[in-house]
């Protein structure tokens, strides 16, 4: 038999006994216990650091994991490979050129854009360096452009014709004393007196060449040939007749002299209803003055020439020069001529109806999307033209950069408070942008517009287009200047409405 066991102490009694023993040990030997406590703290601390490091390091297989993943010796007869070196942890990938902070766009032009003088306002602003649209208020809506259209006409002419192109006017010799004056769209051809187009060719130059060719042979008939394009659409029905009678616009024919002005030396001068007949009469006078036999009494007939025997030729100044004459003073006559000539030289028929397709094909070469634009004329006089402010602002990006010959247009743009149609603009508080804004103005009865580029106050190059639709000119001009000056002040911080 076994001897009886003493009763087991309870859990509470054992805990009390352990605490009493611990206290006695600490009391007898305090130093070892203090050192041990500090060591424990260090161990716990280093463990936490290891845990943090493990959490932030890339995933790397440990030797133990590598061993566990390897096949066992009994699983394969292939000798095991030599153990590889312990993998080295790699740091996190860092971009070679991390992007810097972007300036907050917090500057608003909404107050200026909400001015009553702007009527139904549309506008767009683009960062020329990035192509980003910084601001748009109905900016994608195509509307009438006014003479801002001339920037599109210029870009089209430069793409199709090139800056060195010259426009000819010729004289052909037919039979039986007949000669023909053949036009190809040079509205600068001059009667030889005062002219608004410096360097223009003259009828006298043609007459002298004719005299040299004909000698004493008489001229009995003078043909006037303007069939380079049809004159059936010489006047757009949406143009007010007052544009012709006041003197802003002639009928668009391929043959005329001095832009068909009653006063050749005045930019704004009444035009006739028969520019081709006027040209024929002026040529007859020039031939008589040159001593061409019979010319003073020659009859004038309007038709196409039947001959290819060219006996005289003169040419306009280069297209780049014509652009420099057209843009600063907003010459409608040159704009219409360049539009129709661009149509003919691109392989189309020179009609107004052809212009939308011609412009779209040409403007696409500058890297912009011209789909949706509607072109009724080259000058912007028609309220039926439709081009969005965003398109104009985006076109101005290659313009301000001078890409593909567009420096000709950029250099011709009026400068705020300095030149052209902007010379008297940007006054008062808006004078802050004088000399910094390069833009084409536009004005028809239903709209006032402005489109171009600027070097903003912070040095950012911006392109823009602003349309004031339906407001009076007196109210629209200072309001357009104000919203443009506000854009200048905002620069890269401009925020959209």
Residue 280 and residue 207 in contact, taking contact as beta carbons nearer than 8 Å? no
**CA separation for the pair 279, 184 (Å, rounded):** 13
**CA separation for the pair 212, 346 (Å, rounded):** 35
Cα 25 to the center of its chain, rounded Å: 90
pTM: 0.80
Tens digit of pLDDT per residue, the chain (497 long)?
Answer: 333 333 444 444 444 544 444 444 444 454 444 444 433 333 334 444 333 333 333 333 333 333 333 333 333 333 333 444 444 444 444 445 444 455 688 999 999 999 999 999 999 999 999 999 999 999 999 999 999 999 999 999 999 999 999 999 999 999 999 999 999 999 999 999 999 999 999 999 999 999 999 999 999 999 999 999 999 999 999 999 999 999 999 999 999 999 999 999 999 999 999 999 999 999 999 999 999 999 999 999 999 999 999 999 999 999 999 999 999 999 999 999 999 999 999 999 999 999 999 999 999 999 999 999 999 999 999 999 999 999 999 999 999 999 999 999 999 999 999 999 999 999 999 999 999 999 999 999 999 999 999 999 999 999 999 999 999 999 999 999 999 999 999 999 999 86
**CA separation for the pair 276, 259 (Å, rounded):** 11
Per-residue HEC secondary structure of 353-377 comes to HHHHHHHHHHHHHHCCCCCCCECCC
Secondary structure of residue 252 in the 3-state scheme: coil
Contacts of 408 (CB under 8 A, 6+ apart): 154, 158, 163, 320, 323, 324
What burial letters (b/e) apply to 274-291, b meaning 16+ CB within 10 Å? ebbebbbebbbbbbbbbe
Cα 271 to the center of its chain, rounded Å: 34
Going by DSSP bridges, is the β-strand pair 299-302/221-225 parallel, antiparallel, or unpaired?
Answer: parallel
């Amino acid at each position: 038999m076994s001897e009886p066991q003493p009763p087991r102490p309870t859990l509470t009694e054992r805990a009390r006994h352990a605490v009493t023993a611990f206290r006695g040990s600490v009391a007898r030997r305090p130093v070892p216990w203090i050192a041990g406590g500090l060591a424990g703290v260090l161990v716990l601390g280093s463990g936490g650091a290891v845990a943090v490091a493990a959490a932030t390091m890339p995933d790397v297989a440990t030797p133990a994991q590598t061993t566990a993943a390897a096949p066992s010796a009994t699983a394969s007869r292939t000798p095991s490979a030599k153990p590889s070196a312990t993998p080295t942890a790699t740091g996190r990938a860092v971009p070679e050129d991390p992007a810097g902070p972007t300036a907050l766009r917090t500057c608003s032009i909404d107050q200026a854009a909400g001015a009553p003088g702007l009527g139904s306002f549309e506008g767009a602003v683009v960062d020329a360096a990035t192509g980003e649209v910084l601001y748009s208020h109905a900016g994608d809506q195509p509307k009438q452009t006014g003479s801002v259209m001339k920037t599109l006409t210029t870009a089209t002419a430069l793409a199709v014709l090139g800056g060195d192109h010259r426009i000819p006017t010729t004289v052909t010799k037919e039979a039986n004393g007949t000669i023909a004056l053949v036009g190809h769209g040079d509205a600068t051809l001059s009667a030889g007196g005062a002219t608004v187009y410096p360097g223009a060719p003259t009828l006298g130059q043609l007459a002298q060449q004719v005299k040299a060719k004909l000698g004493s042979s008489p001229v009995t008939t003078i043909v006037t040939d303007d069939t380079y394009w049809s004159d059936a659409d010489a006047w757009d029905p949406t143009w007010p007749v007052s544009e012709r009678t006041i003197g802003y616009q002639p009928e668009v024919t391929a043959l005329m002299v001095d832009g068909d002005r009653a006063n050749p030396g005045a930019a704004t001068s009444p035009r006739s209803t028969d520019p081709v007949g006027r040209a024929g009469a002026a040529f007859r006078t020039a031939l008589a003055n040159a001593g061409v036999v019979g010319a003073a009494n020659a009859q004038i007939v309007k038709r196409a020439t039947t001959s290819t025997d060219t006996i005289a030729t003169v040419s306009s100044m280069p297209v780049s020069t014509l652009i420099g004459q057209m843009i600063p003073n907003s010459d409608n006559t040159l704009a219409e001529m360049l539009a129709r000539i661009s149509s003919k030289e691109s392989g189309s028929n020179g009609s107004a109806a052809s212009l939308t397709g011609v412009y779209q094909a040409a403007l696409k070469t500058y890297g912009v999307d011209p789909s949706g634009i509607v072109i009724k004329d080259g000058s912007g006089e028609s309220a039926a033209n439709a081009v969005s402010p965003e398109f104009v602002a985006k076109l101005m990006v290659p313009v301000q950069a001078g890409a593909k010959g567009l420096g000709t247009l950029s250099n011709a743009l009026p400068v705020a408070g300095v030149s052209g149609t902007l010379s008297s603009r940007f006054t008062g508080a808006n004078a802050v942008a004088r000399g910094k804004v390069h833009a084409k103005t536009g004005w028809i009865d239903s709209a006032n517009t402005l489109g171009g580029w600027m070097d903003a106050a912070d040095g950012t190059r911006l392109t823009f287009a602003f349309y004031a639709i339906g407001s009076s000119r007196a109210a629209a001009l200072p309001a357009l200047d104000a919203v443009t000056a506000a854009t200048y002040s905002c620069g890269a911080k401009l925020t959209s409405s």
